[in-house]
Amino acid sequence: MPAIKIKELQHETDSWKRRLAFMKEENILFKNTISEILSDGFNRNLLEEVEEFQNRFIKADEVIGLLRNDIAEIDKLLLREIFEDGKIVREIELTFKRFRNHLLVAQRQFDNLKTEFNSFVGKNT
């Protein structure tokens, strides 16, 4: 695989890392918002919904962690490609395609969670 292509793929993985870091930061903000809601005259009738959001935020953290691990493996694969000089091109292509799909699904799920939580906060605070 040409060096320019590897560089391009490394830029893509860097972009993924930034996207996941942003999702992680947002998730922290959402969990902090839950803490604020619970400490500020909380309506106990909403406890079940708040617990559900908290569980979904924890699951989002787990997904983000798994995706970050996948990126680390992809980075290793790219380094291996540099040293093995083109022997694993197909493996890299398949890995990138698979990861792009996983990241897209995770981003959509997170965006839905964010929208639902913001709507919940808007209606109940």
CATH of the domain at 56: 1.20.58
In whole angstroms, what is the distance from residue 16 CA to residue 117 CA? Answer: 24
- 38 with 50: CB under 8 angstroms? yes
Domain count along the chain: 1
pTM: 0.88
Neighbours of 84 (CB within 10 A): 11
Domain that holds residue 61: 3-124
Encode the chain (125 residues) as per-residue pLDDT tens digits.
677 888 899 999 999 999 999 999 999 999 999 998 888 777 888 899 999 999 999 999 999 999 999 999 999 988 876 666 556 777 888 999 999 999 999 999 999 999 999 999 999 87
